[in-house]
Amino acid sequence: MKLSIFAAVLAALPLATSSPTWGPGKGPYGPKDKYPGLAVLAKRAGLQYFGTAIDNVVLNNTRYVSIAHNRSEFDQVTPANGQKFVHIEPQRGVFNWTLANQVIKPAKKARQSVRCHNFIWHTQAPEWLEFGNWTKKELVSIMENHIKVEARYFYDTCFSWDVVNESFNDDGTFRETFWYKTLGKEYIELAFKFARKYTSPRTTLYYNDYGIEKVNNKSLAIAELVKDFIKRDIPIDGVGLQGHFRMATAPKYEEISASIAQFNKLGVETAITELDVRIELPDSPEKKAKQAEGYANAVKACVDADDCVGVTVWDFWDPVSWVPYTFPGWGNACLLDDDFNKKPAYYAVSDVLRAAA
């Protein structure tokens, strides 16, 4: 539990309605002569961690790696892709730990914690799994074996697991994925039961999704799932609000706070798990300032919540962001620009954390 003594002051600040200029000594919270790393500030603000996702495609860039594994900046690491089904079990019963370990081993050496992502998702599944003509019994067996082997391999590594990822449509209905078509909505329950059976008792188990940073049909449906799980003693410890925002329409502080609260009041923790704020190109100083608001509002909402435990940015360097490849015409979604310069968004996050410390 954490309550910021500056909550009332921060709530009155115009983060969601104006465009202040952020930079060294220019933040809305007063001058400062140096900036500790974001993870250092996050701990002071009451969060358990401030982390980043890391993808394998950039591990040959020594400057990137030095920042990614700087524990004062990011004290938690999430493998962006290396633990997904397609890479972990590319053939049935054949497991490959290479991509995951390329991220996790340096993180452990740097004494960073590891947030693991993910066991079950309908995307980035190997063809043998997605297009197999499975009976219900066969698919349940495949699921359990995959979770068992991966969970045991990373048993002492993962303080938290995204057990199931993105199972709901925006209207609150279940996605008709290959998991759902064969197993029905029970597949989510089964995944959490298997995860609890094979992970460390200390590992927190999360449901993770995007577009739930406001109270809407999707977030309400997930809240009902959580409520049902708790009522029936199905193991679930947290809900991850991904936080993939568009600069111009990023949710306001009050909206994110309300969504976090709807899960926290059910008795589960929350986290911002994949934060980035994409800009419609070409970029401009005004767009950067608006982007900074989006970042600041999300971090502030987590800091001020009773049981939002941490924030993970979905990588920190613009050239390796997933955004341009997924959303043509959009980009520059991260905290650092092409030349590793800290953007206004970085200083906005730093200011929020500093004010809450």
> 3-state SS of the chain: helix, strand, coil percent to 5?
40, 20, 40
Domain boundaries, the chain: 7-356
Burial 4-29 (b: 16+ CB within 10 A, else e): bebeeebeebebbeebbebeeeebbb
Show which residues are catalytic: 166, 274
Q: Residue written as tokens 């990373």? A: 154
Q: Architecture of domain 7-356 in CATH?
A: Alpha-Beta Barrel (3.20)
Model confidence, pTM: 0.91
In sign, the C-alpha dihedral spanning 10, 264, 47, 272 is negative
Question: What pLDDT does residue 34 have?
Answer: 62
Q: What is the mean pLDDT of residues 66-84?
A: 98
d(CA 279, CA 329): 9
In DSSP terms, which residues pair with 147 in a beta bridge? none
pLDDT higher than threshold 90 for residue 256: yes
Q: What is the mean pLDDT of residues 83-94?
A: 98
130-188 pLDDT, tens per residue? Answer: 999 999 999 999 999 999 999 999 999 999 999 999 999 999 999 999 999 999 999 99
Question: What pLDDT does residue 11 have?
Answer: 35
Q: How many Cβ atoms sit within 10 Å of the Cβ of residue 110?
A: 15
Q: What is the mean pLDDT of residues 184-193?
A: 98
Question: What pLDDT does residue 30 have?
Answer: 38
